[in-house]
Homo-oligomer: A and B are copies of this chain.
Amino acid sequence: MRLIKNPEERRNEILDAAEILFVTKGYTKATVMDILQACSIAKGTFYYYFQSKEEVMNAIVMRFILNGEASARRVVSDPNLNAHDKIFRIIMAQNQPDDNKLGLIEQLHHVQNVEMHQKSLVETVLRLSPILAEVVEQGIEEGVFHTPNPKESIEFLLVSSQFLLDQGIFQWEEDQLLKKVEAFAHITERVLGAEQGSFAYVTRLYFPHQA
């Protein structure tokens, strides 16, 4: 009953099976045995490809984040967009991932998956901040932003929005969240030294049904 497969293929089989299991049962409840059964492999095979269950989770989250990074890069490399447009589109792209990824996000927001969740937020910040910093520098040249620390300012804004506005970490009521998003637009303008009101559209992105 020995089936030898292309290592790449096998690795992806394990990842795919694990992703489904993590999303449906949750990371903690999904056992390594579940994964083995789903791919019909032996334990040794699993540990031949991955050092631990956690490493599998890492790889899944990475696949997801690299997607977001790629789409952000596409926006930045468009020579016809100004800094404000680019930021708008990058935010849009991050908030509208493929439909089949929504389950993973929802899974990340469940209490049982704090580890996976935090890792994904951290990775998002690390990968998006250099890209967005580039856009801020473009904005400084265009004269619409004014800050001596583009990179640090973006990191600060990314971290605060990613963590504070995440309903898996802080559970805010809808009206509290609306206030925070409005304040965030305001804060962004101050931190980046942008014109007052220039980020007001962010509220409409997060709360399309409002005003």
Contacts and interface: CB of A to CB of B under 8 A. Distances in A.
A180 B129 CA distance: 13
Interface string A105-131: 000000000110011001001100000
A152 B190 CA distance: 14
A163 to B, nearest CB: 5
A185 to B, nearest CB: 10
Contact of A156 (B152, B153, B169, B187): B187
Nearest to A150: B183
A48 interface: no
**What does DSSP make chain A's interface, helix, strand, loop or mixed?**
helix
Nearest to A186: B149
Q: How large is the interface on A (under 10, 10 to 19, 20 to 34, 35 or more residues)?
A: 20 to 34
- Copies in the assembly, this chain: 2
A209 interface: no
A69 interface: no
Contact of A164 (B148, B155, B182, B184): B155
B164 A159 contact: yes
A191 interface: yes
A118 B169 contact: yes
A160 interface: yes
18 contacts: A114-B114, A114-B119, A115-B115, A122-B169, A122-B170, A125-B170, A148-B186, A152-B180, A152-B183, A152-B187, A153-B187, A156-B164, A157-B160, A159-B160, A159-B163, A160-B160, A187-B191, A190-B191
Interface of A: 114-115, 118-119, 122, 125-126, 148-149, 152-153, 155-157, 159-160, 163-164, 169-170, 179-180, 182-184, 186-187, 190-191, 193
Given A149-B179, A149-B183, A152-B183, 12 more contacts: A114-B115, A118-B118, A122-B169, A122-B170, A125-B170, A148-B186, A149-B186, A155-B180, A156-B160, A159-B160, A159-B163, A190-B191
